[in-house]
Structure 1
């Protein structure tokens, strides 16, 4: 999960006032949990990540998403690092 969080954070990180809530970030990334813990298919994970990237339009959104992802990184265990590392490629997301 940490690699998922890092990958998404790299794609949306920036500076500004918080606009997207952590609840919203969690909602977008929730479909990734079964896949990341080897308990389910990729399913809607890519759509969730792409949706989050699309929702984070402003600098304030980017900072909010980044801060939420940092908080989530320490609260979720059992994520497969290999699967997390492969998500950007599997989802067709380019990380700058």
Structure 2
């Protein structure tokens, strides 16, 4: 198993009402291709939504909500939560 996330990744995670907001530092996703971004966002989303009390995830960069790619390739609008079901098709056994 490999990760597309850098080992020095720092993010602030705030959970409210079952939604985890991930505030990433700028530039983290910029170095990745669109396909790699989708897999990186999937990795974060699948990991967090497997935790008790977290059903959805939103993403921001430096406090500004961003849109993120879903598993099928479409983009969730900025501030729109994503969930396990948005990425489950990417899980390989």
TM-score (norm 2): 0.36
Name which structure has the greater RCO, CA cutoff 8 Å, separation 6+.
1
Structure with the higher helix share, 1 or 2: 1
Structure with the higher strand share, 1 or 2: 2
TM-score (norm 1): 0.35
